[in-house]
Amino acid sequence: MNRSGAIFNTSESQIYTSGNTAQKFKLVFLGDQSVGKTSIINRFIFDTFDSKHNATVGLDFISKTLYYDDKSIKLQIWDTAGQERFRSLIPSYIRDSTIAIIVYDITNQTSFNSLSKWIEDCRNERGQEVILFVVGNKLDCEEKRVVSRQVAEDLARENETIYFEVSAKMGDNVHNLFNTIASVLPGNENNRAFATDHNLITSTQGPSQNTPNIHLSSKPQDEQEFQSKKNCNC
């Protein structure tokens, strides 16, 4: 399994470019409760895992600026609650998103069965304008798997999404996931076609050779910017 050796800064990193402003892209994480959406985000942003993490209430938000392929990219990452009582709010979060990451738990059949509804919600709001990822989490619990990789890949392919399996707990493939997300953003259409055609897939694959790596650079401490909106019920 590929594990990221990168340790990401705990504050937002601003990239110095010659007069260029970072492009902003909205990423929304969707999926049933307790599938690990917040844990995946925390693993990417902070390189941490909290097994006692409380359920997200309504919405969490964090912004991260990355340096990718000679460009500055600001990811506005929206972490949505999976509880049914917040379901009516989800369309408004999807509406202006560039990428939707739909997470399920490979040890939970119900969370997998819900994928079709989450995909339908995204398509209803954004049509083909949104780039969809289906992500199977809890790869560290392989012995408890109830959803086969082949079945999940087939669903992802049928719905024209990009498929990944990760372990937020161990960090397996999380960096590769975000590396691929960066590579298929608008302006990288060739990479997007490559990723979709090859259904960039599993825990055993590293990033595509066509996919440059993500790098982070920090501003001085007194100029660092960090945004987080916690427990928003709007």
Task: Report pTM.
Answer: 0.74
Q: Which residues of 50-80 are buried (b: 16+ CB within 10 A; e: fewer)?
A: eeeeeebebbbbbbbbbbbeebbbbbbbbbb
What was the pLDDT predicted at 23?
A: 87
Q: Which residues are paired to 135 by β-bridges?
A: 103, 164
Over its length of 234 residues, how does the chain's per-residue pLDDT go in tens digits?
434 333 333 233 333 333 457 789 999 999 998 899 999 999 998 899 887 655 554 467 788 888 877 778 889 999 887 555 556 677 777 888 999 999 999 999 999 999 999 999 999 999 989 999 999 999 999 999 999 999 999 999 999 999 999 999 999 999 999 989 988 998 765 555 545 554 544 433 443 334 444 443 333 233 333 333 444 333
CA distance 114 to 132: 15
- Report the topology of domain 23-232: Rossmann fold (3.40.50)
